[in-house]
Structure formats: C-alpha cells, structure tokens
C-alpha cells in the first residue's frame, strides 16, 4: 500500500530547520512570499540549506514570482522543488523547465468548486497540490472530492492538523500531506507538534 509522504512547510527559523533534521519529514518547505510572516530572504535560505540535512529536499513556495528568481534558486541548489501558488501558466512552467532542466514543479490549486479539481487534473506540473487558498489554515470542502477525486497523485494541503490528518489519509489516499499552521503554536513551529504529526503520518 502507498505510504503517504509528509511535507512540513513554512520553516523560517534555524530552530525550525534543526527540528526537521531530527524528525526527518520527506520534504521541508520554505516560503518566498514577502506578505507572509514565514517569508524567507535568499541570504537566510543560503544558511538554511547548509544547515538542512542534505537528504531532505527543500521546497520553495512562490506566488507569481519572476521566473528568473525561481530558476536561480533551483540552479544554485537552494531548493530542489518549486511550488507555485499564484496564477502561473503552463508556459511559465515550461520556461522553468527550459532554464532549470530536471527541476520538479508542484502547482497549487485553490479548490472551491468541482471545476477547480478538473483544472488541477489537467495540469502539466509534476505534482498538483490541492488547497483552500494560500496560507488560510483552513480545509477546503472535502466533499468535492468524494465523487471527483483526482486520478493522479496529489498533495493535500490546507487546515491539516493532528485531529484530522488520519481522516484525510483514510478518505483520499494523498501522495503527500502538506502541513504548516497545523504544527504551530502562536504562529511559530512547535517541535512537539512536528514530531507528533510526522509520526502520525508515518505510522498510518
């Protein structure tokens, strides 16, 4: 049976990186979007990538960023995966692939109605991420997927926490779960919640 992977997203302090080094989720996410309180500058990311266990891929989260910015992060090895949360088009993703050959691209889709799932299913991204919206910390209406779940591996995000992650995995068998605010206390990453969440997903 497929084992669901886990990504801990929104790391923005050195102690956050140290925590994921101990717990070892499948992916570590860093947000490059200035309006977010989790935003990370390039200079910080250079330190974080050196500090992060080389066996843990770094995922960079971008929202309508200039393609050249993402390409530079990929080429310089600061991130291994680009996760796009804006209005990026198929042409935009082709540009990333041309400029950073071999890169992996995840595209996030805000799921508000059934047609959003159909749009996500057709995406040319390597992985699709189903979310309620960037950084809302709330689940979208999971009932939309009961009769129209994607027929390709997907990442489930938005409002996942210890109280509902097992239900999400049982109902939808996502390829990966993406957790951020669900492992925070007071808007900061909580090492105990990160450990418990990772153990819960791994043991399911």
- Active-site positions? 9, 131
Question: Which candidate, 176, 202, 177, 182, places its Cα nearest to that of 194?
Answer: 182
Question: Which candidate, 91, 83, 96, 92, places its Cα nearest to that of 157?
Answer: 83
Whole-angstrom Cα distance, residue 194 to residue 204? Answer: 16
Tokens (6 digits) for 39: 């935003």
Number of other CB atoms surrounding residue 130 within 10 Å: 25
Whole-angstrom Cα distance, residue 7 to residue 121? Answer: 21
């Amino acid at each position: 049976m497929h084992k669901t992977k886990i990504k801990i997203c929104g790391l923005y302090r050195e102690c956050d990186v140290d925590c994921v080094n101990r717990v070892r989720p499948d992916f570590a996410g860093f947000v490059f979007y200035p309006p977010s309180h989790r935003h990370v500058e390039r200079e910080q990311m250079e330190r974080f990538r050196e500090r992060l266990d080389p066996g843990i891929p770094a995922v960079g989260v971008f929202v309508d960023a200039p393609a050249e910015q993402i390409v530079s992060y990929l080429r310089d090895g600061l991130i291994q995966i680009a996760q796009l949360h804006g209005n990026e088009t198929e042409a935009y993703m082709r540009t990333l692939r041309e400029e950073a050959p071999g890169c992996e691209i995840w595209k996030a889709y805000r799921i508000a109605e059934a047609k959003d799932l159909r749009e996500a299913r057709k995406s040319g991204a390597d992985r699709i991420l189903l979310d309620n919206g960037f950084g809302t910390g709330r689940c979208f209406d999971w009932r939309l997927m009961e009769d129209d779940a994607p027929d390709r591996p997907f990442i489930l995000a938005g409002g996942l926490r210890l109280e509902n992650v097992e239900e999400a995995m049982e109902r939808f068998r996502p390829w990966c779960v993406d957790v951020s605010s669900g492992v925070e206390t007071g808007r900061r990453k909580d090492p105990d919640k990160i450990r418990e969440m990772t153990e819960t997903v791994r043991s399911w």
